[in-house]
Structures are given as C-alpha cells and as structure tokens.
Amino acid sequence: MTAHMLHIDHLGHRYGVGPPVLADIQLTVPDGQLVTLVGPSGCGKSTLLRCVAGLTRPAEGRVTLDGEPVDRVPDRLGVVFQDYSRSLFPWLTVRDNVSLPLRRQGLGRARRHEEAALMLEQVGLAGTGKQHPWQLSGGMQQRVALARALAARPALLLMDEPFGALDAQTREDLEDLLLRLHREGGLTVLFVTHDIDESVYVGDRVVVLAPGPGHVRADLPVELPPVRDQIATRALPEFTELRAEVGRAVRPAGTATP
Amino acid sequence: MKRGEALLGCAGAAGAFAVCETLSRTGLVPSADLPPASEVLARAVELGGQAAFLDGVAATLQAWAGGLGLACALAVPLGLLLGSVPAANTAARVLIEFLRPVPSVALIPLVSLLLGSGTATTVTLVTYAAVWPILFNTVYGMGETDPVAKDTLRAFGFGRFAVVLRVALPSAAPFIAAGIRISAATALILAVATEILAGFGEGLGIFVAQAGTATDGTRDVLAGVVWAGLLGLVINSLLVGAERRLFPWTPDHRARRA
C-alpha cells in the first residue's frame, strides 16, 4: 500500500501522428492533496487529465492510481468538466443526475435518492432535486456537477477548468465550496485551470505546465493557511509572492507578446 | 402558438376560402370544376355524420398507424446501430442511398402486384415511405451527441452500451421525434395514394377515387381532400404538442417558454 494516491510516470502523448502534446510528465500526488495544474492553453493540461481519467490512453509512460495501473476508467473517480450545460443530462432531474454514478454501485433507488439529497445539501442545493439542470443558474449547475462527482465517494476528484465559465462572484463562492469539501472530506483533487490566481488560492500545491510539448516547468508548494478567505488570503504577502512566481513560470520573461 | 399567430392563420384560411368561393360563384371557374367552397365544406361536415364514410377514415388511419408504428420499430433500432457502429454505417450507406431516392408512390403497382390491393399493401408502402426520415434523423441525432456528455458517462465507469442507451438515445430523441413527425405526413400521403390507386375496398382514398369516377363527383372529391388535410393538420399538431411536452430542454422549446 502506498501513501501516494496518484503516480504519473514518464507520461507522454500525441494524437495520431501529430506533434507530441505531452512529454515525460512526472508527478506524484499524495493522499488528500489538492494539486492545481496551471498553464497556458495548448500546454496539454486537459490531455493529462484525460490520461489520468482513463479516457485517453497515453502513448508513453503510465498512470497508477492507488497502486493500480490506469488502463481503463478507474473505479471511484469523480470528474467535473468546465462545460456543465453539456456535462449534465438535461433529460434527467437534478436528483437523477447526481445519483447516476451510484447506479454502477448497484444501489437501490431509495438509497440513491438519499445519497443524492445528501450531496445536494453538501453543495448548498438542498431541495432542488426535482428540478431540471437547465432550470438552474450556471453556478448552481456546476454545483450539481460537483455533487454528482462526489456522489460515488471518489478516491480522486478530477476537475477540468471547472469554474472557467462562471462570473467572478459565483466562481469565488465555488472555490470556497471546493476548499471546504476538500478540508472536511480529505479529498484528493487534481484541478486544472488557466487562472494563476485561482491555482494559488485553491491549491495545496501548484504544478505549472509549459507547452511545446507539455512538460512540468515548476512544482511549487502553497504555504498558506488551510482555511482561506477570498479577501484576506489574497492580500497576504505569501499569496502575492507565490502568484508572481507562478506567473513567471507560466509566462517566462521575453515570451510575452505586447 | 401565440394568439396573434393563430389569428393570422385563421385570416389566411378565411382568405383562401373567400377566393375559392368567389371564383366559383362569379362563374370565372365553372362550378362543375370548382364547386363553391361553402358547398364543399358543408359536404365535408355532412360526411362526418355518415358511418360508412367514418369507417373508411378509420380504415385509412389504421393502415397509417400500423405502417408508421412498424417504421418506428424498424428505423429506430437500425438508426441506433448505424449511428453507433461506424463500420455498419459505411456498409449500409450504398444500399440506403440507392433505395432512398425511389419514390414510394412508384412502388404502389409493384407492391399491389405482390400483395394484392388490401391492407397489407397499404401498410407495406406506408412503412417503406416512413422508414427513411426516422432512420436518417436517428443516425443524425446520434452523431450530434455531445462528446462531453459521453465522456461524462464514461468517466463514471459506464461502458459503451450504457453510453448509447443513457446518453446517445435520449439526446437523439428530439431528432427521432421530428423524424417521426415528418414520416407521419408522408405516411398519410402514402396511405391515401395507395387506396386511390387500388380503387376498391374501404378507406378515405377509396372514397375519393370512387367520387372521382361519379358524374358531378368534384364536390365529394374535394370534401374528401378537406378530410385528408384535416387529418394531417390534427396529426401534426398532436405530434408537435407531444414533442414540446416530452423534450422541454431543447433550445427551441426553452425559447418559447421564456
């Protein structure tokens, strides 16, 4: 038994005969850590997430989850995609969306509904179970997607730019919700974002990916108090320093175009 | 339909009615060729009280429903297969592209020769004509399945078959329903046309055919046509209403609601 939930070993990938999008990625995520993966568009961060999810088979290297090699979609995985309106099923009620992953665990209908109600309460959406996703606001829909991802009690939660499509206020609320769930539930999370501020605010650790082909450029611990506050934490000198450091790694001097 | 639209629709129908009435009453068109619209309408109402005529309409509707039902039973599963197995789609394409342009009406003599001029012939031809729109819309709808929705289900550990059943089928359902609505109209054409060409038996088309050979039968022919048009209108409205109730999430229906 290893204490490392997720282990990515010399992973490389290319689509068909195209240029490599990822090369020699080496990354280990311990149990209970929230790792943010930040980088410019085209650095292969979404591809990396797909490889971890078992949705894309990497051309080189391998991924192990809880000691088991990932060669198909692993059990006990939760995924939240950026595009909640496409990821939630409009023909199902909120409750049925959330309880869908539980069908695979063979839970009965009553138990599934119970779990769904519990998860919805966790994300602050108690009482919305009988509505349909498209009747809710964007922020509420992404909360539903989060509740669904958590319903199966995942060992690993993967989030692909989950808050990228939301307005600033909603996005901050959801960042804080994620932090609370992470703190209380000891969730292991791999969180992809292109937002440098968000990567620092949300993460226990920030991994910077650089393009051409995608590789790890920096791996920085976040030494901020675990309980964070949108105003106070962002004003801390440690926050601004780390944000600058991540910023420099994402966009090294001389590469910025005016 | 909004109230203004309904009023305009009624105005259009009233205008057409007035033109036909005037053409006939003023003698611009001999009333043997075009009886006054009011007389046609009166005759159509009168026919609605005749058991023999209504039995004929019921027979036509029975053939229509049987053929359309059979077409759904064939086209939807076949469409699901072709839509989810690319090799099957490629293999079937040549055959389908060859069969599709054959006008169903042109097959009436052939099928009559093989099956006689009874219900079996009508149902067969209705089925043949109705299969295509349903089949094409099913395959098209499957192709429109959102990749994010598919990935979502896969990420929760569901297999290929579950993806077809739980994502592709429900997301294609509005397309399939639209195909069925198009087919319903074509099916009615085929049901009536086959009866007209067969010339004896029982049905709305038989009524029209027999009236056509009678002296001064124009009024009856037109009254029969009014009935055919009315059936088409009622069927279409019912199906549109059903689609709106069944698929409230489609952008069309959501805009209407807002």
Nearest to B187 by CA among B99, B61, B83: B61
Convert the pLDDT of each residue in B143-155 to its tens digit: 889 999 999 999 9
Q: Tell me the C-alpha distance between B169 and A242, whole Å.
A: 48
Domains and CATH numbers, chain B: 57-257 (1.10.3720.10)
Contact B148 A77 (CB under 8 A): no
Is the pLDDT score of A255 beyond 70? no
Strand order in the sheet with A68-69: A20-30, A4-14, A60-65, A68-69
Contact A77 B154 (CB under 8 A): no
Chain B residues in contact with A86 (beta carbon < 8 A): 146, 148-149
CA-based nearest distance B40→chain A, Å: 46
* CATH placement of domain A4-76+155-250: 3.40.50.300
Contact A134 B254 (CB under 8 A): yes
Sorted by where each begins, the domain ranges of chain A are 4-76+155-250, 91-146
Q: Tell me the C-alpha distance between B150 and B162, whole Å.
A: 10
Q: Does B253 touch chain A (CB under 8 A)?
A: no
Question: pLDDT confidence of A256, banded at 50, 70, 90?
Answer: low
Q: Which residues contact B86 (CB under 8 A, 6 or more apart)?
A: none
Convert the pLDDT of each residue in A117-139 to its tens digit: 999 999 999 999 999 999 999 99
Chain B residues in contact with A97 (beta carbon < 8 A): none
Considering chain B, what is the average pLDDT of its residues?
90
Is the pLDDT score of A1 beyond 70? no
Contact A87 B171 (CB under 8 A): no
Task: Look at A236-245, B121-130, B183-192, B198-207 and tell me which has the smallest mean pLDDT.
Answer: B198-207
Provide the 3-class DSSP secondary structure of residue A22: strand
Of B152, B171, B173, the CB nearest to A81: B152
- Rounded to an integer, the average pLDDT of A43-59 is 92
* Angstrom distances, CA of residue B66 to CA of A94, A152, B63, B121: 37, 45, 5, 12
Q: Which of the two residues, B253 and B230, has the higher pLDDT score?
A: B230
The pLDDT score that the predictor gives to residue A95 is: 96
- Rounded to an integer, the average pLDDT of B33-57 is 92
List, in sequence order, the alpha helices (H) in chain A: 45-53, 84-87, 94-103, 109-122, 138-151, 168-185, 196-202, 232-235, 237-250
Q: Tell me the C-alpha distance between A224 and B145, whole Å.
A: 43
B220-242: buried (b, 16+ CB within 10 Å) or exposed (e) per residue? bbbbbbbbbeebeeebeeebeee
Task: Please give the share of chain B, as a percent, with pLDDT higher than 90.
Answer: 60
The pLDDT score that the predictor gives to residue B115 is: 87
